[in-house]
Amino acid sequence: MKDYNKLIEQNAEVVRKKLESNSSFYDELAKGQQPNFLWIGCSDSRVPANEVTGTEAGDIFVHRNIANLVNNTDLNLMSVIAYAVGVLKVDHVIVCGHYGCGGVQAAMSNADVGIINKWIRDIKNTYARNWDELKELDDKARFNRMVELNVEEQVNNLAKSTILQKEWKERSVEIHGWVYDLGSGRIKDLGVDVSGTDHLPDVFKLDV
Ligand code: CO
């Protein structure tokens, strides 16, 4: 059997098992979604949002890109955030990076990775800005720390967005920064939760 046909066959098996434990599972799902979480993660195949968090279809609104970046001019991501926060009214936005992230690793090197150079350049800025701390670490610790700093940066990028700042005028939304450890399967909460703009330099606080 071709690899991709196997996926369709497995889908039939998934449906069979789901209906066995809950005969109305798909009827309920088809009615609509009310997820309470927006997940912004890396596209890496080893960090699927639902699987690592033990959640079901309908629980998490998901956006993934290389190195879980929150880029101000990314129309795709900004639309996802606008819908999740402004329409679905999720209470929590989670940025989840992962140790061993190839995107972060490439950004820490001088490698020319074609069009991806443009995507990961912001990570180089984070790297350069934190060099005083990073230079004290060995290679492995530096890589791990950069993954964490990259997540922190994206949490702050979210706080700088008009979408979040407008929503904060109306209600509470929390942003969280996590890192998934491929080696253990565990999620580490970096404790960089943000629910407003107090921590930002004044110039980022918009008159929304
Ligand atoms: Co990655």
Taking the C-alpha atoms of residue 35 and residue 44, their distance in angstroms, rounded to an integer, is 22
Taking the C-alpha atoms of residue 68 and residue 46, their distance in angstroms, rounded to an integer, is 13
Domain count, the chain: 2
Question: 97 C-alpha to center of ligand 1: Å?
Answer: 7
* Pair 72, 114 in one domain: yes
- Using the predicted structure, report yes or no on whether residue 52 has a pLDDT greater than 90: yes
Q: What is the mean pLDDT of the chain?
A: 97
* Pair 4, 105 in one domain: no
Question: 64 C-alpha to center of ligand 1: Å?
Answer: 10
Q: Is 181 helix (H, G, I), strand (E, B) or coil?
A: strand
- Using the predicted structure, report yes or no on whether residue 2 has a pLDDT greater than 90: no
Give the burial class of 113: count Cβ atoms within 10 A of its Cβ; 0-12 exposed, 13-18 middle, 19 or more buried: middle
Whether residue 44 lies in the annotated active site: yes
Tokens of 188: 């580490």
Taking the C-alpha atoms of residue 191 and residue 42, their distance in angstroms, rounded to an integer, is 19
In this prediction, residues 154-172 reach a mean pLDDT of: 98
Domain that holds residue 5: 1-32
Element of type H or E holding 95: strand 92-98
* Pair 137, 99 in one domain: yes
In this prediction, residues 127-149 reach a mean pLDDT of: 98
* Pair 108, 187 in one domain: yes
* Pair 166, 140 in one domain: yes
Residue 206 has a pLDDT of 97
Catalytic residue among 63, 101, 142, 176: 101
In this prediction, residues 109-115 reach a mean pLDDT of: 98
Question: 130 C-alpha to center of ligand 1: Å?
Answer: 20
pLDDT in tens, 75-101: 999 999 999 999 999 999 999 999 999
Whether residue 96 lies in the annotated active site: no
First to last CA, the chain: 56
Whether residue 42 lies in the annotated active site: yes
Question: Which CATH number fits the domain that encloses residue 169?
Answer: 3.40.1050.10
Q: What is the pTM of this model?
A: 0.96
Whether residue 92 lies in the annotated active site: no
Give the C-alpha distances (Å, rounded to integers) separating 205 from 19, 71, 86: 49, 17, 19
Radius of gyration of the chain (CA): 19
* Pair 96, 17 in one domain: no
Residue 124 has a pLDDT of 98
Whether residue 98 lies in the annotated active site: yes
* Pair 118, 38 in one domain: yes
- Using the predicted structure, report yes or no on whether residue 1 has a pLDDT greater than 80: no
Taking the C-alpha atoms of residue 151 and residue 144, their distance in angstroms, rounded to an integer, is 11
Question: 20 C-alpha to center of ligand 1: Å?
Answer: 35
Question: 104 C-alpha to center of ligand 1: Å?
Answer: 7
* Pair 13, 90 in one domain: no
Taking the C-alpha atoms of residue 183 and residue 98, their distance in angstroms, rounded to an integer, is 10
Catalytic residue among 98, 122, 142, 176: 98
